[in-house]
Structure 1
Amino acid sequence: MYPTYTDLRASAPNASTIAQNDPVNGADPFAPFRQSLAIDDPNLDVGWCLLPAGEGVADDAPQHELLVVLDGEINIEGREGGASLRAGCSLIVPKGGSFRWSVGDQAKLVFMRYLAEDAQGGAGLVFVDPKVPLSPSGSPAAELLLSDTPSCRNNTLYATPSRHWSAGVWDSTPYHRAPMVYGHYELMHILEGSVRITDDQGRATTFEQDSIFLVPKGAKCSWLSEEHVRKVWGILRIPS
């Protein structure tokens, strides 16, 4: 993993590397198909699921997880109902969640898993609605802003009891923020608009609609958005 940010779409493995299907895995049905980034943190696993045609069952999911479909389609059936998740769709699976899945051809997903033993207790799957209503939220610190204060909104769709790991939807009017050191890991899937991320070494990338990237804890990056931005986010923030 690059020490500042990783473009999870651009660096995704080729589908030809899909492992042999093994649908019988009640703890983690995606285990044979996962490829992880090298992250030096025992609490976090981020990477890709390269799923072949097949089906399986997840009984008592072992970790909290955010899934974002990169390519293809996956059908999910849980106690809360079901959905066909196409490219751009997201799903939150709490620890202990159960569901059936099936793929007709192939599907490629990005995942973010919180590995700590932090039980939610009966929480169900959350099918992320990208147009979910949002409420006003905090703006970047005034001392970091290089533009007018933006209007930000948020909806936290899921959080663990400790609130160390959470996921939701956020949007904002345009703004420019000076580089700051991230005290958390954040996965971002851009739903609308674009943002330019620049690190303290001058590496810069513009992430447009459908981009998915990870900013790790300790990275120092700036933010420049010149249009309205809406994103799905997953954050791991554990106090030192």
Structure 2
Amino acid sequence: MPIQDIILFGPDRPEPFEDKPDPSRVLAGAPSGLIWNYHQSADQKLLAGILGLTPGKTSVAYDFPEFGVVTQGRARLADESGAERELAPGDAFVIPAGFKGSWESLEPTEKHYCIYMQTEEGANGRTLAQVTDFQAPLPAPEEGAPAPEKVLEGNPKNLTWNLYESPDERLFCGLWESGPGKWAISYEESEYCRLLTGHSRLADEQGQTLELSPGTAFFIPPGFKGTWEVLETTRKQYVIFA
């Protein structure tokens, strides 16, 4: 699988389609949206892309869990009790199935999304307290490293903060950080990544490369093989779909 099969969330976007809320859901303003869907898994369970929203406020009810990261603008998420959280560029979160409340775009807003189209039995009444906040104090990380036989250069060590796991153990969301080094990779799962710090390089089996720097967001499909090289200590947000 060549490096070109990695999906970059960049300026060359797929054809968008309009996302206009039902009038009964509009609480303020005249919100509308555009959806650029970059990826849909073979079993149609995972959708990944970009949602652009104009200012306005709508009621929301989540049947499925959704990872999101605001990349432009400001928004406010509130639950049915009125508890609210403001979201700015870089803020990442997972909204669980069963959450109800409102989303208000305070200015033109864009977010990256990964939606896992899987219902959860008994998921209802979820509140803001159950929204996974990537900005909150983090738990202790899990320390790890590539298997020795995969290491090609250096002595890379990594830290993983797995912040969300779906009940069926198919969706994992969190933060990952690695020191310098290079190792072989082989993806059976798919993964959305967005770099926060550092500099890394992906290469396919033919040696074609992709440079990764803060703000780079991309999707690795299952079947990709090659190498991951950390040139400067790198931290990323991730969504893994197994």
Q: TM-score range by the shorter chain?
A: 0.7 to 0.9
Q: Does 1:22 align with 2:43?
A: no
State the identity as a percent.
21
CA contact (8 A) 2:156 2:182 kept: no
1:186 — aligned with what?
A: 191
Structure number having the greater strand percentage: 2
Q: Which residue of 1 aligns with 2:111?
A: 109
Write the mapping of 1:136-215 to structure 2, written as runs, cut at 5 A: 136-178=142-184, 180-215=185-220
Structure 2: 5+ residue stretches without partners: 26-30
Aligned partners of 1:52, 1:154: CA distance in 2, in Å?
Answer: 35
1:98–1:176 CA distance, 2 compared to 1 (3 A): same
Could you tell me how far apart the structure 1 residues matched to 2:68 and 2:97 are?
Answer: 13
Question: 1:4, 1:221 within 8 Å by CA — same for their partners in 2?
Answer: no
1:43 correspondence with 2:45: yes
Tell me, yes or no, if the aligned pair for 1:177 and 1:222 is still in contact at 8 Å. yes
Deviation at 1:25, TM superposition (A): 7.2
Q: Which residue of 1 aligns with 2:91?
A: 89
Shift of 1:37: 1.9
- Number of residue pairs matched by the alignment: 229
Q: Letter of the 1:129 partner, please give it.
A: Q
Q: CA offset at residue 12 of structure 1?
A: 4.2
For the aligned residue pairs, the C-alpha RMSD in angstroms reads 2.7
Out of 122, 126, 133, the position equivalent to 1:127 is 133
1:99 Cα deviation after fit: 2.9
- Residues 5 and 216 in structure 1, CA contact (< 8 A), matched pair in contact too: yes
User: Is contact 2:75–2:107 with CA below 8 Å preserved after alignment?
Assistant: no
Q: 1:45·1:114 contact (CA, 8 Å) conserved in 2?
A: yes
- Name the aligned partner's letter for residue 48 of structure 1: I
Any idea what SS the aligned residue of 1:117 has? coil
Unaligned runs of 5+ in 1: none
CA distance in structure 2 between the partners assigned to 1:117 and 1:35 by the alignment: 23
Give the AA of the match of 1:47. Answer: G
Q: What is the TM-score of this pair, normalised by structure 2?
A: 0.83
TM-score by length of 1: 0.83
